[in-house]
Amino acid sequence: MFLSSFDPQGKNPGMSTKIKREHGLLRGIFVCLATILAAIICSPIGQAQDAVALNQTNAAAPTPATTSAKPSSATDDQPAEPGPTESSSATETTLVIRGEEVPSAYGAPPALSRSRFSNLVNAYVLPPWAVFAAAIYQGDALRFNRPDHMCTAEIELGLPYRFGVAIENSIETFRGRTQERSFSLEGRYAFADWDKIPLNPTIFMEYRFGIGDILHDEGPPEPLAKGEAEEFLNAHEPLPGALEVRLLLAEEFFGSLEWALNGFFEAETGGDRGREWGFAQSAMVPVLLPKERLKIGAEMQLTGFSDKGIRHDPSYRFIIGPTVAWKPTANTRLDLSPLFGATHDAPRASVFAVFSWVFGGAETNEAEAPASTRNR
């Protein structure tokens, strides 16, 4: 992330020092992420299994033709007929499928059977009894304030009949203060098996329990006077609970282009009754076939925010940028997304990194084409 900021009129000499501190922290984050990535790349990489088709054709050797002996009583006008000439040929076809990751979720492609499609977007559901575990990092380079860092642990379980449940726990670090931020309960339901309904709609609901304090204002960013940020921290305003509803849409086009979109609405149940609404979408294509080890694409998010003090003048934040998904092994994946703010109220940049692991799961009877046969 390369960010530059300066005061052309030199009216705010303190701003330069603040920006240098922000840049130093952001560079430190990228150094850590690069170190982790390099360590993973240099480590032994497990080999994903391919979908393999073995066609065996076993032709039995034809039996030699046998001719019955002509009986002594046979005449020339009634010749003895030769015995039957027998030749048998047997063809056997064996199809061996080794899945590249967990079984298909009701016929969905592998990438859309993982619960989390990309850093910002969820899609469809997990296969029954499959487990999705993820470590999520989000770093925001805020305007007029220091960077905000949040780490989240997520575990989701796929259930039969296209249901899924999950829990999340988030820890936040801001201005040298680290706190337990929130705990969430989630549930989702896909309305039909894959490709039975266009765009495969799925409903998602989450309730977040606020545990920590509000560490910075969620409204439109404004320049802070000296000591104002510390004063806000010392107020210890409790983070309220919130209910969020999402509509998840996902589809695969042309056998390789994968796309997903989430529309969302969130309402806080206390405090200043903040509300968030908007959508996020992502599109990705594989560049290493047939195992789909590496995918590249782009994602974006548009968020509107208001509370009881600014209902008439909501804040809009738009971030956009590239995304990369890499599978070190068949069941693990690393997603990286450096996204950049395109509106005044958005962070200068938001960096997302997710390391996820999917295991378990049983193939569903409703599944149509085995996802492990893709790109054969």
Phi/psi-derived region of residue 328, left when phi > 0, alpha when psi is between -120 and 50, beta in every other case: alpha
> Is-above-0.75 flag for pTM?
no
- What's the rounded mean pLDDT across residues 352-359? 95
Residue 65 confidence (pLDDT) above 70: no
Exposed/middle/buried for 277, CB within 10 Å: 0-12, 13-18, 19+? middle
In terms of average pLDDT, the best of 134-138, 144-148, 283-287 is 134-138
What is the C-alpha to C-alpha distance for residues 292 and 255, in angstroms, rounded to an integer?
12
- Residue 219 has a pLDDT of 81
pLDDT confidence bin for 104, thresholds 50/70/90: confident
Q: pLDDT tens-digit profile of 158-179? A: 999 999 999 999 999 999 999 9
Average pLDDT of the chain is: 78
Given a contact cutoff of 8 angstroms between Cβ atoms, the answer to whether 272 and 284 are in contact is no
Mean pLDDT of 2-28: 46
The rounded distance, in Å, linking the Cα atoms of 172 and 178 is: 6
Residue-wise pLDDT for 139-157, tens only, equals: 999 998 999 999 999 999 9
Q: Residue 127 and residue 131: Cα distance in Å, rounded? A: 9
In the beta sheet, which residues pair with residue 356? Answer: 134, 333
HSE-CB for 180 with a 13 A CA cutoff:
8
Asked if the model's pLDDT at residue 299 lies above 60, the reply is yes
pLDDT for the residue 157: 97
Cβ neighbours around 159 below 10 Å, total? 17
Q: DSSP letters of 215-241?
A: -S--SS-----TTHHHHHHHT-PBPPP
Q: Say whether domain 98-373 belongs to CATH 2.40.160.40.
A: yes
- How many CB atoms are closer than 10 A to CB 89? 10
Place of tokens 């996902």: 250
pLDDT grade for 233, boundaries at 50, 70 and 90: confident
Instruction: Tell me how far apart the alpha carbons of residues 151 and 169 are, in angstroms, rounded to a whole number.
Output: 8
Q: Residue 127 pLDDT > 50, yes or no?
A: yes
Is residue 189 within 8 A of residue 125, CB to CB? The reply is: yes
Q: For residues 184 and 168, is the Cβ–Cβ distance under 8 A? A: yes
Map tokens 């379980």 to a residue: 157
d(CA 80, CA 82): 6
Instruction: List helix spans (H) across the chain.
Output: 13-42, 228-234
